[in-house]
Amino acid sequence: MGRGAIHRQSGVSLIELMIAMVLGLLVAAGIVTVFLATSNNNRAQAQLASLQEEGRFAILRISADLRMANGHYCSNSGGVADTSGSNGMYMDGLRAPKVYATGLIGALSDVTTNWGSASYPPIPASPYYLPAFLSMRGYECGKTNCSPDVSTKLPSLGTSLGERVIGASVLTLRYLDSSRGWAIDGVNSSTIADAKGKLRSVTVRPKPAAGEPALSEFKAGHLALLADCSNAQIFAVDAPSSGLFTVSATGNFPDATLSNPKPQASPRLFDLNTDLLNVTYYLQVIDNGNGQKTGALMRRLNGKADEIVRGVERLDFMYAVEDRNGNTRFLHAPDVDTRAGGSIDCPASVPNTDGTASPINPYGCLWRAVKSIEVRILMDGQTPLYTLSTHEMNYVYVADGNSVPTAPDDAKRAVKPREQGFANPMLRREFSALISLRNYTP
Map out the domains of the chain as residue ranges.
51-91+131-175+277-436
- Per-residue model confidence (pLDDT) at position 92: 47
Residues 140 and 37 sit within 8 Å (Cβ to Cβ): no
> How far is residue 72's CA from residue 229's CA, in Å, rounded to a whole number?
10
> How far is residue 300's CA from residue 173's CA, in Å, rounded to a whole number?
11
- Per-residue model confidence (pLDDT) at position 91: 46
Contacts 24+ apart (CB under 8 A), 286-295: 286/161, 286/162, 286/310, 287/161, 288/382, 288/383, 290/383, 292/382, 292/383, 292/384, 292/422, 292/423, 293/159, 293/161, 293/421, 293/422, 294/380, 294/382, 294/422, 295/165, 295/168, 295/380, 295/420, 295/422
> How far is residue 337's CA from residue 270's CA, in Å, rounded to a whole number?
30
- Per-residue model confidence (pLDDT) at position 395: 94
Q: For residue 302, with 0-12 CB atoms within 10 Å meaning exposed, 13-18 middle and 19 or more buried, which class applies?
A: middle
Largest CA distance in the chain: 143
> How far is residue 163's CA from residue 157's CA, in Å, rounded to a whole number?
6
What CA–CA distances, in Å, run from 28 to 22, 24, 25?
A: 10, 6, 5
- Per-residue model confidence (pLDDT) at position 433: 96
Closest alpha carbon to 226 in 260, 269, 188:
269
- Per-residue model confidence (pLDDT) at position 309: 96
Residues 95 and 441 sit within 8 Å (Cβ to Cβ): yes
Q: What length is written for the chain? A: 442
- Per-residue model confidence (pLDDT) at position 94: 45
The answer for 412, left when phi > 0, alpha when psi is -120 to 50, beta otherwise, is: alpha
> How far is residue 137's CA from residue 114's CA, in Å, rounded to a whole number?
12
> How far is residue 97's CA from residue 232's CA, in Å, rounded to a whole number?
5
> How far is residue 217's CA from residue 166's CA, in Å, rounded to a whole number?
38
Q: What is the pTM of this model?
A: 0.86
> How far is residue 198's CA from residue 191's CA, in Å, rounded to a whole number?
10
SS3 state at 172: strand
CB count in 10 Å sphere of residue 158: 15
Beta bridge partner(s), residue 280: 172, 300
Q: Is the dihedral of CA 405, 406, 408, 413 positive or negative?
A: negative
Bridge-based pairing of strands 293-301 and 304-310 is antiparallel
- Averaged over successive runs of 10 residues, the pLDDT of the chain (442 residues) comes to 58 75 79 66 76 94 94 62 45 68 83 74 86 89 88 89 96 92 87 85 85 89 89 89 89 88 85 94 91 93 94 96 91 93 83 63 86 96 87 91 89 92 93 91 59
